[in-house]
C-alpha cells in the first residue's frame, strides 16, 4: 500500500454504510476521524481529496470505489462478466434484433438479395494454436491460457476482426493473457517479456477498430513470435477526487460506465462518451486519443488529461498534476495516441465537469448538405459552443431513423450546469435559418429545456449501432466506418473525393449496390470531422478482400484531399501506411527514438503505429 496517512472510515448518508480507506490531511488525527461517520460530501470538506485503497492488507485485490456502493461486495467473488469474442457487448446481453430486422429488409431491397444471418463458430470448435511459452513460477498466477481469454484478446472490433472471429480464424492469438491488479505486477510482466523477447500488448476494453490489438508483427524485429496480451481491467478504480480543483485520479482500466457511476454522487462527470463507451476504458481513450460524441468544446480526451502515470520497460513516468505548464514539450502528449507502443498507462489525472442541468436541443432540416455545412461552420465560428452540432446526410438520417431520405438533418443542442441555454440555442437556430435551415419542432425554436424526442431517438440509435452491426455482418453485409478531419477550405473536396472513391471501390470489389453515408461528428472554427459509413453486399469467402479494396480506396482519397487518416480511431496497423505519408519522416524518427529509449527491446505492441 502507498505510504500515506489513512484512517478507516464509515461512509454513510445517501448510500449503504461500508468501509473504505480514506486519505486524510496531515492536521486531522487518525483517532478522531476513525470514529466519525461521514458522508462523501462531508469527507470532502475535511479534505478536498478522497482516496480509496485496496481493502486487503497486502495492497492487492479489489478496490472499494463509489461505483460499488449501490451494488456492494457480493460481486467480488463472482466470475468476470464475459465479452463476446465475435461481436459487440457482453455474452449475457442481446440487443438490436428489432432494428436489425428493419435494416436487413431495407438493405436486402437495395442490394437485391435476401440477407439471412449466420451464427458464429462456437468456441469449442475453434482450432486454436497451443501456447508457445510459459511464464516463470513467480508470476505464473497472473496469466491465463484459457481458450476464451486468448480468443477474446486476439482482436479488436473492426469489420476485419469480427469476420475472422466469426469464422473461428485465429492464426496468431496471444500465447497468454496477463491479468495484473497493480503496477508492480505490470512491471514484473514487462521485465519477463523483455528478457524472453515476448511482445506485450496492452488491452483495455478491446474496442479498437484500427488493428491496434492484434499480435501481428515481424518476428525478426523482436527475436520471436511470442506475444502476451495485458488485460488492464484489473486496474479499474477511482483513486482520488479533488472537488476543489475538480479533477480525479483514475486507474486506466476503469470502463466508461463505471467512471460515470463513480462520479455521479458528486454531481460530476468526465463527459467523454464515445460510441464504444459501454466497453472502452480510460487508458484506451488516452492511448488512441479518443473523442466523445460532443461536437465542440472539450470533446477529445486530450483536453481532459492533466497528468499521466506510465509503466515503461525502463521505469515509471509520472507527470506533474498542474492545470498547465510551459516547461518544455508537453510530456503527456508523448503518450496520448501512443497506442501501447511506449509503455502501459496505469493512471491518469483528468479534469471533470459539473453535470449539466440545463439542456436545449432540436432538429434542423436543410435542402442539401452544402447548406448544412455552411450553417455548421457559421455556428463553429460564432463563439457558440454547442454540445451537439451533428450534421447527417440524407442516407445517414434515414439509417438513424430521423430523416425522410431527401434532406440532411442537423442535430443541434446546448447544455450547461450553470445557466439556461435557450438563448444560445435560439441564436444557433437563427444561424441555421440564414442558410435555409428549418427548425423541425416549433418548441425547439423557443429553446425548450430538455432533449427533443428526435434527439433522444438518435442517441439510442447511436449507442445501439455496434449491436446492429453484428447482425448486419452475420447476414453478409460489409460494414465499415472511415473518419477524418479537414479544414473548411478542403472539406467539400474531401467529401466529394471520398464518395467518388467509394463508388469506384464498390465496382472494383464486386459489391454492387453498396453505398456510403456521411455525417459531421465534430466541428471546429477551422474545420470539421466527417465520418463515413460504408454498407455493401459481401460475397461469402471474399469478405476480407472486398473490405481491403474499399478501405484502401477510401484511405487514398482521404490523404489525397489533405485530410488526416484518422480523427479519433487511432492508427493501429490498418492506418499505418497512410499515417507514414501524413507524418513527416523526421518527426517519425524522433518518435521512434523515444520508443527506443523507453522500450529498447521493442516489446511494446510491435507493429502498431511504428513499422
Place of cell 480464424: 169
Residue 387 has pLDDT above 90, yes or no: yes
Under 8 Å between Cβ of 555 and 575: yes
pLDDT range class, residue 462, cuts 50, 70, 90? confident
Dump pLDDT digits (tens) for 184-193: 999 999 999 9
Dump pLDDT digits (tens) for 240-256: 999 999 999 999 999 99
Q: What is the pLDDT of residue 549?
A: 98
Q: What is the pLDDT of residue 432?
A: 97
Place of cell 471520398: 498
- Lowest average pLDDT, out of 14-18, 20-24, 435-439, goes to 14-18
Q: How far is CA 350 from CA 34, 46, 306, 367, 385, in A?
A: 29, 22, 5, 41, 21
Residue 3 has pLDDT above 60, yes or no: no
Q: What is the pLDDT of residue 460?
A: 78
Q: What is the pLDDT of residue 94?
A: 77
Mean pLDDT of 290-294: 92
Q: Side-chain half-sphere of 503: how many Cα atoms within 13 Å?
A: 5
Q: What is the pLDDT of residue 449?
A: 55
Residue 42 has pLDDT above 80, yes or no: no
Residue 163 has pLDDT above 90, yes or no: yes
What are 53's three cell numbers?
A: 485503497
Q: What is the pLDDT of residue 97?
A: 79
Residue 30 has pLDDT above 70, yes or no: no
Q: What is the pLDDT of residue 241?
A: 98
Specify which residues 359 forms β-bridges with: 415
- Reported residue count of the chain is 611
Under 8 Å between Cβ of 150 and 128: yes
The Cα 403–Cα 392 span in angstroms is 9
DSSP labels, 231-272: E-TTS--EEEEETTTTEEEEETT-BHHHHHHHHGGGTEE---
The Cα 225–Cα 218 span in angstroms is 8
In Å, the largest CA–CA distance within the chain is: 76
The Cα 206–Cα 231 span in angstroms is 9
Share of the chain above pLDDT 70, in %: 85
Q: Provide the 3-class DSSP secondary structure of residue 478.
A: strand
Mean pLDDT of 12-16: 28
Dump pLDDT digits (tens) for 533-551: 999 999 999 999 999 999 9
Q: What is the pLDDT of residue 79?
A: 65
Mean pLDDT of 219-228: 91
Average pLDDT across the chain, whole number: 86
Q: How far is CA 143 from CA 96, 150, 232, 536, in A?
A: 34, 11, 12, 40
Q: Provide the 3-class DSSP secondary structure of residue 481.
A: strand
DSSP labels, 359-382: EEEEEEE-SSHHHHHHHHHHHHTT
Q: What is the pLDDT of residue 608?
A: 95
Mean pLDDT of 107-119: 92
Q: What is the pLDDT of residue 293?
A: 87
Residue 68 has pLDDT above 70, yes or no: no
Residue 354 has pLDDT above 50, yes or no: yes
Share of the chain above pLDDT 90, in %: 76
DSSP labels, 88-140: SSBTT----HHHHHHHHHHHHHHHTS-----PPPPGGG--PPPP-----GGGG
Phi, psi of 371 (to 5 degrees): -65, -40
The larger pLDDT score, comparing residue 5 to residue 437, is at 437
pLDDT range class, residue 559, cuts 50, 70, 90? very high
The Cα 438–Cα 244 span in angstroms is 43
The Cα 213–Cα 174 span in angstroms is 10
Dump pLDDT digits (tens) for 581-596: 999 999 999 999 999 9
Mean pLDDT of 420-441: 94
- Lowest average pLDDT, out of 23-37, 334-348, 516-530, goes to 23-37
The Cα 151–Cα 147 span in angstroms is 6
Mean pLDDT of 599-607: 97
Q: What is the pLDDT of residue 43?
A: 38
Helices (H), 390-421: 394-399
Specify which residues 255 forms β-bridges with: 281
Residue 214 has pLDDT above 70, yes or no: yes
Dump pLDDT digits (tens) for 308-325: 999 999 999 999 999 999
Q: What is the pLDDT of residue 450?
A: 57
Under 8 Å between Cβ of 61 and 55: yes
Q: What is the pLDDT of residue 386?
A: 96
538 membership: H or E segment, kind and range: none
Amino acid at each position: 500500500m502507498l505510504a500515506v496517512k489513512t484512517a478507516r472510515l464509515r461512509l454513510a448518508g445517501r448510500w449503504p454504510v461500508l468501509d473504505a480507506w480514506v486519505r486524510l490531511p496531515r492536521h486531522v488525527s487518525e483517532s478522531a476521524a476513525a470514529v466519525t461517520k461521514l458522508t462523501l460530501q462531508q469527507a470532502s470538506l475535511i479534505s478536498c481529496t478522497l482516496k480509496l485503497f485496496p481493502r486487503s492488507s497486502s495492497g492487492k485485490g479489489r478496490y472499494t470505489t463509489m461505483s460499488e456502493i449501490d451494488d456492494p461486495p457480493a460481486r467480488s467473488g463472482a466470475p468476470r462478466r464475459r465479452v463476446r469474442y465475435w461481436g459487440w457487448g457482453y455474452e449475457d446481453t442481446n440487443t438490436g434484433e428489432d432494428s436489425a430486422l428493419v435494416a436487413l429488409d431495407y438493405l436486402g431491397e437495395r442490394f437485391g438479395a435476401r440477407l439471412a444471418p449466420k451464427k458464429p463458430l462456437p468456441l469449442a470448435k475453434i482450432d486454436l494454436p497451443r501456447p508457445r511459452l510459459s511464464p516463470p513460477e513467480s508470476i505464473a498466477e497472473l496469466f491465463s491460457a484459457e481458450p476464451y481469454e486468448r480468443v477474446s484478446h486476439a482482436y479488436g472490433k473492426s469489420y476485419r476482426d469480427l469476420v475472422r472471429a466469426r469464422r473461428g480464424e485465429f492464426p496468431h492469438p496471444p500465447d497468454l493473457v496477463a491479468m495484473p491488479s497493480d503496477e508492480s505486477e505490470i512491471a514484473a510482466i514487462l521485465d519477463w517479456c523483455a528478457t524472453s523477447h515476448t511482445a506485450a500488448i496492452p488491452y483495455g476494453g478491446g474496442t479498437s477498430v484500427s488493428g491496434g490489438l492484434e499480435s501481428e508483427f515481424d518476428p525478426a524485429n523482436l527475436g520471436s513470435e511470442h506475444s502476451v496480451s495485458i488485460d488492464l481491467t484489473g486496474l479499474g478504480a477511482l483513486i482520488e477526487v479533488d472537488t476543489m480543483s475538480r479533477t480525479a485520479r483514475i486507474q486506466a482500466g476503469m470502463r466508461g460506465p463505471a467512471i460515470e457511476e463513480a462520479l455521479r454522487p458528486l454531481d460530476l462527470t468526465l463527459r467523454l462518451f464515445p460510441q464504444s463507451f459501454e466497453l472502452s476504458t480510460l487508458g484506451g481513450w488516452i492511448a488512441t486519443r479518443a473523442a466523445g460524441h460532443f461536437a465542440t468544446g472539450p470533446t477529445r480526451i486530450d483536453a481532459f488529461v492533466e497528468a499521466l502515470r506510465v509503466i515503461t520497460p525502463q521505469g515509471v513516468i509520472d507527470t506533474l498534476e498542474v492545470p498547465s505548464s510551459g516547461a518544455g514539450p508537453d510530456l503527456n502528449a508523448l503518450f496520448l495516441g501512443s497506442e501501447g507502443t511506449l509503455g502501459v498507462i496505469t493512471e491518469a489525472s483528468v479534469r471533470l465537469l459539473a453535470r449539466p442541468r440545463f439542456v436545449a436541443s432540436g432538429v434542423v432540416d436543410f435542402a442539401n448538405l452544402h447548406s448544412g455545412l455552411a450553417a455548421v461552420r457559421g455556428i463553429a465560428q460564432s463563439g457558440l459552443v454547442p454540445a451537439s452540432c451533428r450534421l447527417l446526410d440524407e442516407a445517414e438520417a434515414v439509417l438513424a431513423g430521423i430523416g425522410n431520405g431527401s434532406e440532411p438533418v442537423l442535430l443541434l443542442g446546448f447544455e450547461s450546469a450553470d445557466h439556461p441555454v435557450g438563448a444560445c440555442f435560439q441564436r444557433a437556430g437563427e444561424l441555421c435559418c440564414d442558410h435555409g435551415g428549418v427548425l423541425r419542432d416549433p418548441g425547439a425554436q423557443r429553446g425548450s429545456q430538455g432533449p427533443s424526442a428526435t434527439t433522444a431517438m438518435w442517441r439510442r440509435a447511436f449507442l445501439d449501432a455496434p449491436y446492429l452491426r453484428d447482425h448486419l455482418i452475420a447476414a453478409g453485409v460489409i460494414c465499415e466506418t472511415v473518419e477524418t478531419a479537414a479544414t473548411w477550405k478542403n472539406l467539400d473536396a474531401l467529401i466529394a473525393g471520398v464518395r467518388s472513391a467509394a463508388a469506384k471501390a464498390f465496382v472494383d470489389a464486386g459489391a454492387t449496390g453498396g453505398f456510403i453515408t456521411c455525417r459531421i461528428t465534430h466541428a471546429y472554427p477551422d474545420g470539421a470531422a466527417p465520418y463515413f459509413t460504408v454498407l455493401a453486399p459481401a460475397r461469402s469467402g471474399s469478405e476480407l478482400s472486398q473490405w481491403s479494396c474499399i478501405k484502401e480506396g477510401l484511405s487514398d482519397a482521404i490523404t489525397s484531399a489533405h485530410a488526416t487518416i484518422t480523427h479519433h480511431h487511432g492508427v493501429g496497423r490498418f492506418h499505418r501506411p497512410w499515417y507514414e505519408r501524413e507524418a513527416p519522416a523526421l518527426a517519425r524518427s524522433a518518435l521512434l527514438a523515444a520508443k527506443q529509449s523507453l522500450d529498447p527491446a521493442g516489446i511494446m505492441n510491435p507493429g502498431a503505429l511504428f513499422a
